[in-house]
Amino acid sequence: MSGGLDATHDPALRSWVASANRPDSDFPIQNLPFGRFRVDGQPWRIGVAIGDQVLDLRLAAQARALPESLSESLVPLAAGDLNAFMALGPGARVALRRALSGALAAGSVAQASLSSCLVPQARAELGVACEIGDYTDFYVGIHHATAVGKLFRPDNPLLPNYKWVPIGYHGRASTILPSGQDFARPWGQLKAADAEAPVLRPTARLDFELEMGIVIGGANAPGEAVPIERAEEQVFGLTLFNDWSARDVQAWEYQPLGPFLSKNFASTIAPWVVTLEALAPFRRPFARAAGEPRPLPYLHCDSDAASGAFDVGLEVWLSTARMREQGLGAHCISRSNFADAAYWSVAQLVAHHTVGGCALRPGDLFGSGTLSGPRPEQAGSMLELSQGGKQPIQLPGGEQRSFLEDGDELSLRGVCERPGAVRIGFGACSARVLPARPRP
């Protein structure tokens, strides 16, 4: 399991970057997430978020404001290659975190050198933090799986394998888009229940899925299973993830091999990856309700049971075109929590993914699956919130939504909070739905 608390988590720690000390900042000095950015079309660079600024790690390396012992670690970061830095392993990540914490702390002698290495986030274009080679979407949200199952199988909502196997499918990495990049409503085959043949049309049941992204930082050789006791050594950090879905396309195509065009047109990922070290104060025991089956031995270890859950509060905010025209702000349509929603832990996902010999590589991405809470208002998709379109949700200004319409903008937010720790956040994960392109 990843390391515990150290001086970088001290709630009394403050930064000379004033905006990082605001109580509502997502990026205090206790966070220090990694991302990729550029300014005015220049080459992409790797930076660390601090307050409302980005610390440009290429400029920081040139300024020689960090310990000489980190020079090897800074080479890939200065070159804009987060994948190569992740491949150096958790030790390099922990050492850099401690050095950055000290350099950005109030009173640091590095302030004079690093102050010119800051870029306002408002000026920066934020991209996908790393090159994503492979993407697997899991289905860990048991409340989502149960609610959706009830819509289609009222008497048998959960299939027998759900509580034994971390269910997942391999998705499409090429259409994972950075937060802020809009996308067009997708086309696909649709078939009405009373129709003899399907038709090709833009989806009429466009949906979001509230997920966490799990960014893989390590590698294992083909044929080498990663034991659950070491599974988190493969994980760099967590981010927000929205796996957009065309529910009517999905209903027609998913038997017998699962989602295809209904999922591969767009997925939106937040720009910042929050490391496991930053999340250390917000870990919880990973426990299931009494009477649940005990996982097979390769999916269980005492350390994962003791602290394998991450307490991340999640929110979904919706803004329609009419709301923006009327000057109305975005409306929160759902709140849930990663720890309360997930039936499988991050470590279990890594262990299961590799048990058959699958090789993971730095930059691979896991989606958690939809993270709905146990109550109806905590649903992480429109499919659940509207009960399959039968009960539209009410929005400010008098509008209703069963599924997403053109011009709708959806934003995911994530925050970790607990007494005795400084609040940290994940930034926004946002995109707007554009009209479908002309008929193919």
List residues with catalytic annotation.
Answer: 144
Q: Which amino acid is at 65?
A: A
Dihedral of CA 228/241/425/104: which sign?
A: positive
Which residues neighbour 302 within 8 Å (Cβ) at sequence distance 6 or greater?
none
Q: How far apart are CA 375 and CA 371, in angstroms?
A: 12
Q: How far apart are CA 274 and CA 49, in angstroms?
A: 10
Which residues neighbour 57 within 8 Å (Cβ) at sequence distance 6 or greater?
45, 46, 47, 48, 74, 77, 78
Q: Quick check: 436 and 415 in contact, CB under 8 A?
A: no
Which residues neighbour 355 within 8 Å (Cβ) at sequence distance 6 or greater?
225, 298
Q: Quick check: 111 and 60 in contact, CB under 8 A?
A: no
Q: How far apart are CA 61 and CA 79, in angstroms?
A: 10
Q: Are strands 309-310 and 199-202 parallel, antiparallel or unpaired?
A: unpaired
- Under the phi-then-psi rule, with left for phi > 0, alpha for psi from -120 to 50, and beta for the rest, what region is 376? alpha
User: Measuring CA to CA, how many Å separate 287 from each of 212, 290, 328?
Assistant: 19, 9, 41
User: Residues in the chain, how many?
Assistant: 440
Report the candidate in 8, 3, 1, 216 with the shortest Cα–Cα distance to residue 97.
Answer: 8
User: Measuring CA to CA, how many Å separate 424 from each of 144, 273, 285, 311?
Assistant: 26, 12, 20, 11
